Amino acid sequence: MCDRNSGRRLRQWLIEQIDSNMYPGLIWENEEKSMFRIPWKHAGKQDYNQEVDASIFKAWAVFKGKFKEGDKAEPATWKTRLRCALNKSPDFEEVTDRSQLDISEPYKVYRIVPEEEQKCNYPSVMWAL
């Protein structure tokens, strides 16, 4: 069994955010709640609104203690941090063929990987004492 406590925080936090319906575009992709959409609008888009389009990324930065009200807003950094956390976590896998990045309201789709499908980073060989 792998020790994935740090990744579990992201998994639980993100599921709570999706279920909260507080973030426009952050929704379940399927009825089984095994895949979700996360809004992925580029800050250079004409209709980009930081308050809306970066809200989930800001929430992650606040949760992790990387941002507090009054700090300089850095939406690109917030987005990078959440993207890196998702990519690093064994709990999530991007579903690139379901993502839509070239539309007016772009999004990425991620799958929540069941624990039994996750691979440990540890060697499979057991060391003898």
The reply to whether the predicted model has a pTM over 0.75 is yes
In a domain, 47, yes or no: yes
Rg of the chain (C-alpha set): 16
In a domain, 109, yes or no: no
Burial bucket for residue 25 (CB in 10 Å: 0-12, 13-18, 19+) = middle
> Is the pLDDT at 4 greater than 90, yes or no?
no
In a domain, 129, yes or no: no
Q: How far apart are the first and last CA of the chain?
A: 19
User: What's the structural domain count of the chain?
Assistant: 1
Q: In what order do the strands lie in the sheet with 92-94?
A: 27-28, 35-39, 107-112, 92-94
In a domain, 114, yes or no: no
In a domain, 18, yes or no: yes
Q: 93 lies in which domain range?
A: 5-104
C-alpha triplet 23, 57, 66: angle, nearest 5°? 135
In a domain, 41, yes or no: yes
**The domain spanning residue 49 has which CATH number?**
1.10.10.10
Q: Tens digit of pLDDT for each residue in 23-82?
A: 999 999 999 999 999 999 999 888 999 999 999 999 999 999 999 999 999 999 999 999
